[in-house]
Chains A and B, each alone.
Chain A
Amino acid sequence: MIVHELHELQEKHGWLTSKGLHELAEKLNVPVHHLHGVASFYPHFRLKPPPKATLHVCTDISCHMRGAPALLQQMRDMAVAAGGGSGGEEIEVKNCSCLGQCDGAPAMLINDEVYARQSLEQLAYWAGQAIGGREVPALSLAPGAKGPYRTNPYATELEHYGALKAILAGGNGGGDDVLKKMAAANLKGMGGAGFPTNRKWEAVKAQPVPAGGKKYVICNADESEVGTFKDRELMKQLPWLLVEAMIICAVVTGAEVGYIYIRHEYHEQIHVLEREIEKAKLMGLVGENILGSGKKFDLSVFVSPGGYVQGEETALMEAIEGNRGQPRNKISDVGLMRAAPVFQGLHASPTVINNVETFCYVPAILVKGPEWFKAQGVNGCEGLKWIGVSGDVNRPGVFEVPMGITYREVIENLAGGIIGGKKMIAFAPSGPSFGLLPAEKADLKLDWNTSVDPVGRILGSGAVVAVAEGRDIVDLALNFTRFYRNESCGKCVPCRVGSQKMVDLIFGILQGTATQEDLAMVPQLAETMSMTSICGLGQVVASPIKSVLAFFKAEVDAHIAAGRAKTTADASFRSSATGNNGHTPVMITAGGKVLR
């Protein structure tokens, strides 16, 4: 696999040399531009010798609210003051996208290791150690085991894989029974799309094994959307559920190969899952002839070379196939579904792809029954939901909640309310995807059917971000939109160019330089992006500003009227509104010269 080969090559030299790429191209018999195209697409790969130390500060919403801009500035100043590294080498200081540590904000990467849940002073101290070429202690990110969880139907480790064993004992894979139960439980795609899970499995099951090929099961564990970190805890606390559900899926659908596609910053989860798979292998549940059933299933962890857009299912498949991780064209929205992943997924073969959380509910539904699962909901809703809560709350974290719980309950009870006893003025129901809603909407239920005009159904992946009084809503909308701009793959015009123009427009509002004509352009651009972008990323870029214009128009008008620039973003970060796509690192060279 190309991504693996590139990983290996990078391991060897610390970066991808031109000579190395040429040799690899010859070995794999692909054009060298392909390898370079792939390598330059993913943030994990380096096409230049690595700097002495790298300091990447997450500047997305929760970290932004908890001091990331100042932290980033401080790191730059420190690196400049040190005149680069101890030996005059380059130090790379830059902002990066959400690291999935929003409950420990601000988070950062020091030499590619995640640091979070620390004071700003502590982070700055370690950054200083890294600049000085000294070792920075590895950090355990464990917030400590919680539970018991309703999602886990097993009381002891001995019971693990009970649902799978029962199916295998039932002969013929017990497939139809599984699908019936999933349908009865109304299990839907928990990544946010809400597509009935049983229908995906049925479609793949119904298709023949492609000639000379295989069917696939993929778990999308690449959660990288701002504010989303629920899968992080699911994988860490209940890895056996994910592995079991994927094996069940393989048994039911006839898939022979499975991948858990996981973001590379989740070092701990990668380790936990690999161990769990190893355990399943030893138990005869993964590999050839599963428990003597004659079925085989090869399951492995595929570490993503990085980027939020990889969470888009077809982009993810492109990455596994060794291509630039650009989403495929969806030509199946209307009419026949020929191009959907269940028909033409990985390697153009039938593929089930589900979110971590979706898979993890399967054992409980099978063990405890669909009725039990549905009964977990409250306020007339069905099922469970794992959510991440961050922002201006006292106890940010991951929670297993009954579907139907209100946002207010989540924020005020589970997450301990707003910090400093302040008033909540807004909340994001699921990261940037559905924008910012006013506090009074917090009485809405977390449910599939909860819909708010103009952003639509707001459940998403359950990445709740609470905003306290005193925050600038326009600044937060700009921060959200920048995230999308930074993460756009660049394949289609509306997203590649439109996201930058949207950032420009919101920046104009924030600065107070936007005109009424500029404001009038927002809906036109928003409509174009949502209707013509290839994938969901481009389609939701406008959500933050659409919601702000709908619910916080007074703030927008105030900005324009006053022409004032009230932002917590630092000056250099501001410059990224035009030009710099946010991934261009700032290099501090010998003598402290700053290069961009």
Chain B
Amino acid sequence: MTAIATNVTLEIDGRALEVPAGTTIFEAAAQMNVTVPVLCHKAGMTPVGVCRACCVQVQQKQKDGTVGPPGRTYTAACMKTCENGMVVTTGVGAIESKDAGPAARKVEMARRTIVELLLAEHPQPCERHKEYHDCELELLAEKLGIKDPIFTPRSFSKGTDDSNPQIAIDHSACILCDRCARACAAVGNDVIGRMGKGLTSAITFDDNQPMGESSCVNCGECMINCPTGAITYSGGVPTKLPYGQPLTVDQLKELPLFSKISSAFLARSEGAVVARTLKKGELLCRQGEYGSTAYYILSGKVDIFLETDLTHVRSQPQKGLFNRVKSLLVPRHESPRSEEGDRTTIPIDAGVDLDRDNPIAQVGVGEVIGEAACLNYQPRSATVRAAEETVVLEMLRNAFDILRRNKQFKAEMEAKYRIRALESHLKSVPMFRELPAEFINHMRDRVKLVGYAPGEEICNQGDAADAFYLVRMGHVKVFEKYADGQTMVLSYLSRGQYFGEMGLLGGGERTANCTALDHVELVRIEKDDFAEMLKTFPDIKRKLTQVAHDRAASNRARSAQTKTMSLPQYIDQGLYQAQSLLILDLEKCTRCDECVRACAQAHDGVSRLIRDGIRYDKYLVTTSCRSCRDPYCMVGCPVGAIRRKNDMEVIIEDHCIGCGRCAEQCPYGNINMHPFELTVRDLSTGEVRQEVRRKAAVCDLCTDQCLGETEDPSCVYACPHDAAHRVDGQTFFNERLMGVEVPGEKTRI
């Protein structure tokens, strides 16, 4: 045997040619400048032969030199490889041509019918053709002289998907060529598939997720490869930063960070990444500011630190007239509160956490700062200052999103965060502090970093408990469901906090539902690894069991109550048990706001009272924050300083940076920002200066320390219309429930 022939000879449209073996008919025809129309194929792709527009007639030359009969069917030119003695009729241009034979006309007629069929199903013009006049289907139709399709158009829309801010999907314009799916798989993402069957089949992302919520990495390959207006660029997000030096696509491609990202996609995000050069001492951002960008350090070093001192607001009664109270800032060792946090670090929006005793850290090249600010629009959690000349890339969400979905970047970040989450987050919880370095190292390769999209379920009450989680980014909503269908949010967990231990320690079932509130990333420790940890460190087990026990007890107490009454009643119960409720008689109230002013007067000019709350016919009960079933105030605290205690009461911890996010979030206006003039020391420069700083404080209805049994809070005292009353919950509700007349002056205590 001689070597396998490397060339084959065939005839296409009456012309002989020789091509290397393995050449497809489509490619061979192209060599003769015959473009066989095709929609589902593109040079460089593995052909799938589904659009059938490239179908050609193939015959075989016989030994006696005659040409054999045509195949029973036509053959897809994009798939069929050339063979010796093939006689191919492409039919291209046969309808207009006078010389074309009947066979060629038949082939072209079939092709035309295929285009007619597709066009009947296609919006005309589609988004892409409207804008750029380059929808491949519509161009082919124009070329074939087809205007209005002869077939009845489709009677229903196949729908659109605009969940991705940059890429729009119009299923009605999709011709199911599978080019997007192949392109997606070719770059290693493999997110796009085909779902359903027959006429209703469609492209799909993961298991039919909206594109924006799927595991799509936004690389844009699908869009680039789509022949029609089914996948188009939709812009959506503002893409230009007004300062810094914008980077061109070429400049971006030179950075290893962006080298793997498609140019076409980067081009569409141009202006969303800028380089900023900071001189030593220059500020990058300040704590409490709102920002929507993330930073990536290209060179140099920065200091990340808190400007706040670690104190909380306490009201103190003043001697003299009008029951005036004064607000003071006190550190926790001077004024300990129950269930105060005992963590040794403060979680911030960067790769590191800050030490509670000395909240400053220095980070350098390759570090990302401001992820949560960028993705979840949280205020900046700390102040960042250049420690030397530093170049940072500042990027808007669309650019950062591309990066975050890049596999290489993801892997780098993962490696970094795994160890940090274990070292700083886990070890900052006192009970885990004793974990030795070897054990952390051992765990490092075993834990997984898992991401959740906004609204995604993490676990459900009653599911088998299979892991323990540390929150690295975002907020996890933890809530219970009750028999009457109501839910109660137990907590919003943020960075540095953990969950899942209850199920693992208890009956092996999840005791609450957890969902991602925004973009959430968790460090997942598998059940077995967790068990191993507890086994190796019995002290941790003991402490953790105690925590779980306490929590379970309070959960039980709550669920015992909810068994006998519905949740709204239970919430009322919270008020019922309240020592001191402020009620406003809305029939008497003239909305003069004297009460509000009085409150402000009592609290250094900052009112903690807003005339709103739950209404019981003519009464308005100014609610205490514990009555929120869904304490939204906890969402978005950049340093995780606001949380619920086991008894559901809200506590604001000393490391509050005064950004005001919680106050904005509270629908009842129960959180107020107190300004204090303070002497502060800059941790990075050592400089001392006078500044006005704010701290969040919750309305305490002037209880605790400020009033004696027989005194009214300022707001009640100030009301000129006798509309404000301070009552205890039991009295008020018993009267309401038994239909007894209004609590008038007599009920004033």
Which chain B positions have C-beta within 8 A of A584?
200
Which chain B positions have C-beta within 8 A of A18?
207
Which chain A positions have C-beta within 8 A of B200?
490, 581, 583-584
Interface residue from A33, A324, A485, A504 paired with B190 (Cβ < 8 Å): A33
Interface residue from B114, B121, B206 paired with A36 (Cβ < 8 Å): B206
Contacts A40-B208, A329-B76, A494-B117 known; A324 to B199 CB distance under 8 Å? no
Which chain B positions have C-beta within 8 A of A497?
117-118, 120-121, 199
Which chain B positions have C-beta within 8 A of A539?
73
Contacts A501-B120, A531-B110 known; A490 to B60 CB distance under 8 Å? no
Q: Give the complex CA separation of A579 and B156 in angstroms.
A: 6
Contacts A18-B207, A22-B207 known; A485 to B198 CB distance under 8 Å? yes
In the complex, are the beta carbons of A578 and B71 less than 8 A apart? no
B346 at the interface (CB under 8 A from A): no
| Chain A interface SS verdict (over half) | helix
| Cβ proximity bits A4-33 to B, threshold 8 Å, 1 near / 0 not | 000000000000001101100000000111
Q: Give the complex CA separation of A521 and B112 in angstroms.
A: 12
Instruction: Quote the shortest CB–CB distance from B141 to chain A (angstroms).
Output: 13
| Cβ proximity bits B175-201 to A, threshold 8 Å, 1 near / 0 not | 110000100010000111111111111
Instruction: Quote the shortest CB–CB distance from A39 to chain B (angstroms).
Output: 8
In the complex, are the beta carbons of B75 and A334 less than 8 A apart? yes
User: Which residues of chain B from 31 to 76 have a CB within 8 Å of any chain A CB?
Assistant: 48-53, 55, 58-60, 70-76
Instruction: Quote the shortest CB–CB distance from B53 to chain A (angstroms).
Output: 8
Which chain A positions have C-beta within 8 A of B60?
334-335
- Nearest to A42 among chain B residues (CB) is B197
Q: Give the complex CA separation of A124 and B114 in angstroms.
A: 44
User: Which residues of chain B from 330 to 362 have a CB within 8 Å of any chain A CB?
Assistant: none
A34 at the interface (CB under 8 A from B): yes
A284 at the interface (CB under 8 A from B): no
Give the residue among B75, B79, B185, B207 with the most A Cβ atoms within 10 A.
B207
Q: Considering only CB atoms and an 8 Å cut-off, how many residues of chain A contact the other chain?
A: 57
- Nearest to B115 among chain A residues (CB) is A493
In the complex, are the beta carbons of A528 and B113 less than 8 A apart? yes
Which chain A positions have C-beta within 8 A of B175?
493
In the complex, are the beta carbons of A530 and B198 less than 8 A apart? no
B151 at the interface (CB under 8 A from A): yes
B690 at the interface (CB under 8 A from A): no
A239 at the interface (CB under 8 A from B): no
In the complex, are the beta carbons of A493 and B109 less than 8 A apart? no
B152 at the interface (CB under 8 A from A): yes
- Nearest to A20 among chain B residues (CB) is B207
Q: Give the complex CA separation of A19 and B72 in angstroms.
A: 46
Q: Considering only CB atoms and an 8 Å cut-off, how many residues of chain B contact the other chain?
A: 60
Which chain B positions have C-beta within 8 A of A581?
197-200
User: Which residues of chain A from 218 to 234 have a CB within 8 Å of any chain B CB?
Assistant: none
In the complex, are the beta carbons of B73 and A490 less than 8 A apart? no
Give the residue among A18, A32, A524, A527 with the most B Cβ atoms within 10 A.
A32
Q: Give the complex CA separation of A139 and B51 in angstroms.
A: 45
| Cβ proximity bits A482-526 to B, threshold 8 Å, 1 near / 0 not | 000111111111101111110010000000000001000100110
Interface residue from A485, A489, A500, A532 paired with B114 (Cβ < 8 Å): A532
Instruction: Quote the shortest CB–CB distance from B735 to chain A (angstroms).
Output: 41
Q: Give the complex CA separation of A579 and B155 in angstroms.
A: 6
In the complex, are the beta carbons of A533 and B73 less than 8 A apart? yes
Interface residue from B59, B71, B176 paired with A496 (Cβ < 8 Å): B176
- Nearest to B191 among chain A residues (CB) is A33
User: Which residues of chain B from 139 to 158 have a CB within 8 Å of any chain A CB?
Assistant: 150-152, 154-156
- Nearest to A500 among chain B residues (CB) is B199
Contacts A33-B193, A324-B194, A497-B120 known; A504 to B152 CB distance under 8 Å? yes
Q: Give the complex CA separation of A41 and B208 in angstroms.
A: 13
In the complex, are the beta carbons of A33 and B204 less than 8 A apart? yes
B585 at the interface (CB under 8 A from A): no
In the complex, are the beta carbons of A492 and B193 less than 8 A apart? no
A462 at the interface (CB under 8 A from B): no
Q: Give the complex CA separation of A47 and B196 in angstroms.
A: 11
Instruction: Quote the shortest CB–CB distance from A25 to chain B (angstroms).
Output: 8
- Nearest to A336 among chain B residues (CB) is B83
Q: Give the complex CA separation of A491 and B109 in angstroms.
A: 21
In the complex, are the beta carbons of B73 and A330 less than 8 A apart? yes
In the complex, are the beta carbons of B198 and A532 less than 8 A apart? no
Instruction: Quote the shortest CB–CB distance from A487 to chain B (angstroms).
Output: 7
Q: Give the complex CA separation of A533 and B200 in angstroms.
A: 18
In the complex, are the beta carbons of B50 and A491 less than 8 A apart? yes
Q: Give the complex CA separation of A324 and B196 in angstroms.
A: 9
In the complex, are the beta carbons of B207 and A534 less than 8 A apart? no
A-B contact pairs, 16 of them (CB 8 A): A31-B190, A32-B206, A33-B181, A36-B207, A37-B194, A41-B196, A330-B73, A333-B72, A333-B73, A336-B83, A488-B199, A497-B120, A528-B114, A533-B73, A579-B154, A581-B198
Chain B residues close to A by CB (< 8 Å): 48-53, 55, 58-60, 70-76, 79-81, 83, 86, 106, 109-110, 113-114, 117-118, 120-121, 150-152, 154-156, 175-176, 181, 185, 190-201, 204-208, 215, 457
Q: Which 9 A-B pairs rank lowest in CB-CB distance, beginning with the nearest? A: A33-B193, A490-B201, A36-B207, A528-B113, A31-B190, A333-B71, A37-B193, A497-B117, A334-B71
Please name 6 further chain A to chain B contacts, defined as beta carbons within 8 Å, in addition to the given A493-B51, A530-B73, sorted by A numbering: A31-B206, A33-B191, A494-B52, A501-B117, A532-B73, A579-B155
